[in-house]
Structure 1
Amino acid sequence: MAKTVLKVTNLSASYRKNTVLDNVNFQIEEGSLTGIVGPNGAGKSTLIKTLLHLHPSLTGKIDFYGLPFKKAKRVIGYVPQRGSVDWDFPTNALDVVVMGLYGQIGWLKRPSRAHRKLAYEALEKMDMAPYADRQISQLSGGQQQRVFLARALVQDAEFYFMDEPLAGVDATTEKAIMAILKELKDEGKTVMVVHHDLQTVTDYFDHVLFLNRTVKEHGLTDSVFTKENIMKTYGGKMQRIVEGGSHVVHSN
């Protein structure tokens, strides 16, 4: 039986006075690759931020490996939305990746040659080693996303959260990122990804979590990625979903 590595119970959160998450409950199994899907404004990014204590919760309990986040955070990696990052900050790609090691190095200590070697190897894994000395503002959107993924990889975490890592990237970068995520899964790591393209869900994820303020459905993609659950989650916002959809979803 698969080990539960994240248990969320009765989680609620708001922005100002607007409830964004309401009574969210789910469990995540070790070694799973889960896509979080739902319409714009459904609370997908807020869910990740609340789980990682980057946004306050109103109610609820969050357990990672049976522990509160603060005691488990060393084994958790996070890739935020690219649009939330100040890419004009004067630093190069290698230094961005080194930042992923500050939990090990300590903020007031200088990274060693061994730390920089680990960071360089993470860039190599994302085919970004030739850009190690390039200012991040000079990188394309896809290259920036690869650097941020390298920063998460260098942490060698057990559980990764990624907020729309495929948004606005080219097809080659999307393929490279998904290859890395599946490699992490094969290594027994656990990955949760905010995802916006319903047409690729069945190809990319073995689990799917439908979210619209609360969890509408969650489970194995083969079982729960159905037209009925998409309708339940997206409601009237179905216009962009391919008509017919036999190659996208199946019916119960």
Structure 2
Amino acid sequence: MTSVLQVEGLSASYRKNKVLDHATFTVKPGTLTAIVGPNGAGKSTLLKTILELHPALEGSVSFFGASYAKVKSRVGYVPQRGSVDWDFPTDALDVVLMGLYGRIGWLRRPGKKHRQQALQALREMGMEEYASRQISQLSGGQQQRVFLARALVMDADLYLLDEPLAGVDAATEKAIMATLNLLKSRGKTVLVVHHDLQTVEDYFDHVLLLNRTVVAHGPTAETFTESLVHRAYGGTLRWKGVTSG
């Protein structure tokens, strides 16, 4: 199979501290992958560097065998909710419409067809009735659903999501995972920075264990093992109800 994403020797730093060190991995199409690792492991930095939102020190990244600049319209990104300015004066529908600007063009106004597409994406996330609600007036879970709707409306082939399940209620978590599985069933590829080790086996078919570099990557049954998880986390870690150090 042709790779959807290929990362070779990718390194990055913050304030001269290397937080990503020669990360190398390949993602195959139609997979739903959890990126897991301890705090400070470089998970968010990995996504941002892949998407050229943070400078790389070295290494290379290719999407569908091409540079990111050539295939941007095929890649959807949902950032951490805490990194977004939720006071920006816009409503939920306008946020979702932003996902179509790559197709519409930034200088053209969205038409009726585009608004219908955005409303359909909100409907799929159970947020249609909030279309005219100011984004700052929504709960954290509702905001996350709106951002996922923005990614959905792009109809991308690869989705990168940074902790979409962090701080959301159980209903939103269920809705998000149902959507991600629907995307997978449509042949899409999804990478998710994930923090809850207890749900990895239930939610994802592939796992990428990261601690500044890639410790292991592959099918969940083969990769999400006690020895490999401990290698990624080090120190004391609860593994399926057992504490070991």
Q: Distance in 1 between matches of 2:2 and 2:67?
A: 17
Letter in 1 for 2:93: L
Give 1:201 deviation, angstroms.
0.2
Letter in structure 2 aligned against 1:115: H
Deviation at 1:108, TM superposition (A): 1.3
CA-atom RMSD in angstroms: 1.0
Residues 33, 191 of structure 1: 8 Å contact kept: yes
* 1:129 CA displacement: 0.2
Q: How is 1:214-233 mapped onto 2 (pairs within 5 angstroms)?
A: 214-233=213-232
Residues 26, 215 of structure 1: 8 Å contact kept: yes
> Which letter maps to 1:228?
S
Indicate which of 239, 244, 251 corresponds to 2:242. Answer: 244
Q: Cα deviations across residues 116-135 of structure 1 (Å, max 9, x unaligned)? A: 11000000000000000111
Mapped contact 2:145–2:172 kept (Cα < 8 A): yes
TM-score scaled by length of structure 2: 0.97
Q: Which runs of 5+ in 1 are unaligned?
A: 246-252
Q: Aligned pair count?
A: 243
CA contact (8 A) 1:39 1:237 kept: no
| 2:103 aligned partner | 104
Given the two structures, how large is their TM-score scaled by the length of structure 1? Answer: 0.95
Distance 2:80 2:240 in 1: 26
* 1:16 counterpart = 2:7: no
2: distance between equivalents of 1:226 and 1:85?
Answer: 34
Q: What residue in structure 2 maps to residue 152 of structure 1?
A: 151
Q: Distance in 2 between matches of 1:181 and 1:242?
A: 25
Q: CA deviation at 1:237?
A: 4.6
How big is the shift at 1:8? 0.7
Q: Distance in 2 between matches of 1:159 and 1:118?
A: 19
Question: What is the distance in 2 between the residues matched to 1:168 and 1:42?
Answer: 20
Deviations 1:42-96 (A, max 9, x none): 0000000000000000100101111011111110000000000011111110010
Letter in 2 for 1:194: V
Identical positions, percent: 65
Q: What secondary structure does 2:242 align onto? A: coil
Separation in 1, partners of 2:240, 2:226: 11
- 1:22-37, aligned counterparts within 5 Å? 22-37=21-36
Measured in 2, the distance between the counterparts of 1:216 and 1:135 equals 42
Q: Give unmatched runs, 5+ long, in structure 2.
A: none
Give 1:81's aligned residue: 80
In 2, Cα distance between equivalents of 1:155 and 1:57: 26
Q: Please tell me whether the aligned partners of residues 226 and 239 of structure 2 are also in contact (alpha carbons under 8 angstroms).
A: no
